[in-house]
Amino acid sequence: GTYCGLFAMRTCGRARFEAVLAGRGKGYLEHCMLGAARRISELGAAGAFQPGFAVAKYPEAMGMFGDGKAAMVHSYSAAAYNDQARNAADEMGLDEADIGLLTLPGDAGITAIAPEDGFGGVGGWAVMAGASDEAIGFLRFLTNDTNQRKLAALNLNIPANAAAQGSVRSPLTREVVDAIAKSDWLQIYIENMQNPAVGQVMQNVVVDLMSGAITPEAAMAKIQTVAQI
């Protein structure tokens, strides 16, 4: 699903991307969404992924990168450096100075996308009506400036708390924090913006696109069928 969203941002631009999510026009059958599907298909046809990628788990992929067996890995920002080290055979992985970030470029003619615009998830907490004072107190404790600074210093996340952003120590994470600060468009995972059935179908067809098992047109038609329900 992440690949679908990343490419769609860059083939559609913001206005058309948001129109698709809102179900306007042809939805996932819009020309720009078919373009995103073609980019995914082309990436798979170019041999970009490791053998067995369709059944590979995240720790395995990060371990391959940490062992120096992959040139690039799909990065989850703050998690990438820690996870590649944790899953490497020597539990050390690559030195942070040897890792760089590469943004996905936009398609020619798409001006509504900037290098700083991002795609990802956010963390949040919710409490039920009538929650105990202890529950509310814990959330206040967890999200206060002091503790958010501590979490940022540990490189555990990209802090949403503005007071904590200056505590980020990792150069890689700092690069992401600075980009988000400049961004006018931070898109939540596309599969999280739709009902769960759409997200599941999207994940399945993306794997099929990467492996050449489905055409871009058929892939987007499958998603559109579920999105209309």
Quick: pLDDT tens for 162-211: 899 899 988 888 888 888 888 888 898 888 888 899 999 999 999 999 99
Q: What is the pLDDT of residue 217?
A: 98
Q: What is the pLDDT of residue 155?
A: 80
What does the domain layout of the chain look like in residue ranges?
A: 2-121+187-227
Q: What is the pLDDT of residue 109?
A: 63
Radius of gyration (C-alpha) of the chain in whole angstroms: 19
CA-CA distance, 158 to 177, in Å (whole number)? 6
SS3 category, 154: coil
Tokens found for residue 149: 């600074």
> CATH: 2.40.128.110, 3.40.640.10, 2.40.10.10, 3.40.190.10. Which one for 2-121+187-227?
3.40.190.10
Q: What is the pLDDT of residue 19?
A: 95
Q: Which stretch of DSSP H or E encloses residue 146?
A: helix 145-153
SS3 category, 22: coil
pLDDT by position in tens, the chain (length 229): 889 999 999 999 899 999 999 999 999 999 999 999 999 999 999 999 999 999 999 899 999 999 999 999 887 665 678 889 999 999 999 998 999 888 887 776 665 567 778 888 777 788 899 999 999 999 999 999 999 999 999 887 788 888 998 999 888 888 888 888 888 888 988 888 888 999 999 999 999 999 999 999 999 999 999 999 8
> Taking a C-beta distance cutoff of 8 angstroms, is the pair 155, 168 a contact?
yes
In DSSP terms, which residues pair with 118 in a beta bridge? 186
Who's near 99: CB < 8 A, 6+ residues apart?
Answer: 80, 81, 84, 172
Q: Residue 221, Cβ neighbours under 10 Å: how many?
A: 15
Task: Compute φ and ψ for 119, nearest 5 degrees.
Answer: -140, 130
